[in-house]
């Protein structure tokens, strides 16, 4: 149990589908993140939320739409994805931005997404 | 951005100490060094971090050189469950402190 729960663990979707990934953290943190991990590539930061406000969008295509209704929940809405979007999508949280204190990231175990 | 350099892979015998090096020669004075690991099919797991002094917790020890240009993560008694990719990361300036992961070191602990 990492304190960060992601659902579903696995998702297969067609290119015309609309789906959502969910992340919930039980750690009382105020910053949440979406990362993408493609095969044989380093983790790529996608979005950052701090106190429910988006503070970073790392040039992510608009077919990925994040939502952060409160500091404990984070969603990633997916629509008209491409096969190259298949990857492990990881959610993380922290008490404050890492490096500005001693607040490491806590990750969930990810959603393995396959786009067919 | 302070970048890190790690060997792509290392082997370690079970029960022995695993010493994982990291070079971060362009690190700034207020940047922390963080270590994470990722076991297959799981999310990254925080291990330890430090600024200047050596640090120890229940998982590992972190040794940072006096000039802060390199560090070593030490797993004192490696087990098979420590087989993972280990990431050495420093804070990225100008991105509100978000962590950027490189390729890491694939540590294989062997019986």
Closest of B55, B99, B61 to residue B78, by C-alpha: B61
Averaged over B95-106, what is the pLDDT? Answer: 74
Does residue B85 carry a pLDDT above 60?
yes
C-alpha to C-alpha distance for B97 and B89, rounded to whole angstroms: 11
| Mean pLDDT of the residues in chain A | 89
Closest of B31, B96, B100 to residue A30, by C-alpha: B96
Which residues of chain A have a CB within 8 Å of the CB of B41? 109
CA B9 vs CA A49, B70, B107: distances in Å? 34, 18, 6
Chain A interface, best mutation among B91, B97, B100, B105, by max A CB count within 10 A: B97
Does residue A97 carry a pLDDT above 60?
no
Q: Give pLDDT, residue A100.
A: 52
Q: Give pLDDT, residue A104.
A: 81
| Mean pLDDT of the residues in chain B | 90
Tell me the pLDDT tens digit for each residue of B59-69: 999 999 999 99
Nearest chain B residue to A47 by CA distance is B98
**φ, ψ at A101 (rounded to 5°):** 170, -155
For every residue of A91-102, DSSP letters joined together read: EEEESS-TTSSS
Averaged over A64-93, what is the pLDDT? Answer: 95
Smallest Cβ distance to B98: which of A48, A109, A110?
Answer: A48
Tell me the pLDDT tens digit for each residue of B4-22: 999 999 999 999 999 999 9
Smallest Cβ distance to B49: which of A43, A102, A110?
Answer: A102
Confidence of residue A37 (pLDDT cuts 50, 70, 90): very high
């Amino acid at each position: 149990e990492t304190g960060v729960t992601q659902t579903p663990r696995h998702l297969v979707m067609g290119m015309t589908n609309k789906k959502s990934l969910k992340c919930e953290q039980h750690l009382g943190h105020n910053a949440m993140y979406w990362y993408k991990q493609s095969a044989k590539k380093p983790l790529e930061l996608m979005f950052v939320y701090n106190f429910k406000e988006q503070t970073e969008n790392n040039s992510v295509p608009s077919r990925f739409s994040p939502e952060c209704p409160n500091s404990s929940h984070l969603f990633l809405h997916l629509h008209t994805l491409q096969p190259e979007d298949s990857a492990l999508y990881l959610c993380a949280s922290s008490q404050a931005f890492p490096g500005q204190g001693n607040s490491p990231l806590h990750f969930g175990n990810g959603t393995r997404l396959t786009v067919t | 951005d302070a970048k890190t350099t790690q060997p792509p892979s290392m082997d370690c015998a079970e029960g022995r100490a695993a010493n994982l090096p990291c070079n971060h020669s362009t690190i700034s004075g207020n940047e922390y060094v963080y270590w994470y690991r990722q076991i297959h099919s799981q999310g990254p797991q925080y291990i330890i971090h430090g600024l200047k002094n050596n640090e120890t917790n229940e998982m590992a020890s972190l040794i940072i050189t006096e000039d802060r240009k390199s560090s070593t993560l030490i797993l004192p008694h490696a087990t098979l469950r420590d087989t993972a990719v280990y990431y050495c990361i420093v804070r990225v300036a100008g991105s509100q402190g978000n962590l950027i992961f490189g390729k890491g070191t694939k540590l294989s602990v062997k019986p």
